[in-house]
């Protein structure tokens, strides 16, 4: 049963860390929808919980101005 909609769903192999190869230590079960959404954007723990966002996940879907805002906020945080 899917944990959000209680419908029986097929599971796929998902990467825990997309930067690493798909081996037994780097696989988590994910439904098709979650696997499609996660793509290469997230790093997961052993329980399938997102722990980090990848650079691609942070930057790929944002325009140049949004990226500048992110950088500005990060620089302020470091100051």
* Per-residue confidence in pLDDT tens, the chain, 79 aa: 777 788 888 899 999 999 999 999 999 998 888 888 888 889 999 888 899 988 888 777 788 898 888 889 888 988 7
In angstroms, rounded to a whole number, what is the distance separating the alpha carbons of residues 3 and 1?
6
Query: Would you state the structure tokens that stand for residue 63, as one six-digit string?
Result: 């325009």
Structural contact between residues 67 and 59, judged by C-beta atoms closer than 8 angstroms: yes
Query: 12: which strand partners?
Result: 30
Q: What is the pTM of this model?
A: 0.67
């Amino acid at each position: 049963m899917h944990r959000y909609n209680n419908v029986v769903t097929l599971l796929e192999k998902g990467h825990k860390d997309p930067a690493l190869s798909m081996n037994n230590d780097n696989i988590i079960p994910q439904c098709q929808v979650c696997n499609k959404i996660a793509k290469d954007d997230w790093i997961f723990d052993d329980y399938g919980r997102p722990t980090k966002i990848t650079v691609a996940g942070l930057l790929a879907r944002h325009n140049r101005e949004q990226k500048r805002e992110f950088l500005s906020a990060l620089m302020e945080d470091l100051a």
